[in-house]
Amino acid sequence: MGCGESKQKINSLPKLKVKPDIPKKLDNKEIEIKVCLLGDVSVGKTSIASRYCKNTFSDLYINTIGGAYQQQSVTLNNGTKIRLHIWDTSGQDRFRSMTNLYYQDAQVAILTYDVTNEESLESLNYWLEQLNNKVEVDNMILCLAGNKIDVEASKKVISTSKGKAFAEENNMIFFETSAKTGAGIKELFQAIAVKAYELMKNK
Ligand code: GTP
């Protein structure tokens, strides 16, 4: 199959709104959820996933091609095990037409911005619009991560209150994070796991 052919196929995907499944319960003690990280180039999506799944961080920037997968499990206080399947997507424009393939059956979307880059928060309106067009977001757990809070205070151009306000406006779980130091990362995924469990329990 030539490149042109596959591009045409992606562009002609039907614009159906997908209803993400409530997290699946595998047995008495295990739930699986799919999480997708979205946001501009270089905001730290891969780094957040790597910090959480492998407890590693690199200063090197290697751009994501399409999407990348990692997984991690978390056990809640009541013993329930949640397996998080984490897809981080490329922020590059040239991959945008395929990003919906990653998020359309995800139960969770983490919209990520870089606290040193004003535009990266504004761009999230684009991702919210994309999600709203393709997915029934009311069935989704939406999160907002303001990443790179380890930077020196003068470089932080997006205040915590601005991030918080964006999250409240869009009904999102909000955390400021640093993939570099690990600040807020476990807490973010823990909050996601708890919310997923509550949704499943109330189904
Ligand atoms: P794309 O794949 O291009 O969409 O980028 P991405 O959003 O996955 O960003 P990535 O995780 O590759 O990080 C981009 C750059 O930011 C790298 O040089 C990382 O080392 C750096 N970076 C990521 N997270 C942090 C952080 O919390 N603090 C600091 N200081 N740098 C970070």
How much is the pTM?
A: 0.88
63 CA from centroid of ligand 1 (Å): 9
Count of CB atoms within 10 A of residue 44's CB? 28
Q: How far apart are CA 86 and CA 35, in angstroms?
A: 5
Higher local confidence (pLDDT), 20 or 52: 52
Longest Cα–Cα distance of the chain, Å, equals: 51
- By the 8 A CB rule, do 62 and 90 touch? no
pLDDT interval class at 23 (50, 70, 90): low
pLDDT digits (tens, 9 = 90+) for 59-117: 988 888 877 899 999 999 988 999 999 999 888 887 777 788 888 889 999 999 999 99
User: Could you give the percent of the chain with pLDDT greater than 70?
Assistant: 85
Question: Looking at residues 17-39, what average pLDDT do you find?
Answer: 72
Q: What's the CA-to-centroid distance between 142 and ligand 1, angstroms?
A: 21
- Residue 6 Cα to ligand 1 midpoint, Å, equals 29
Which residues' Cβ are closer than 6 Å to ligand 1? 41-47, 58-59, 61, 63-64, 88, 90-92, 147-148, 150-151, 178-180
CA–CA gap between residue 180 and residue 47 (Å, rounded): 8
Residue range 116-139, pLDDT digits in tens = 999 999 999 999 998 998 888 888
pLDDT for 91:
81
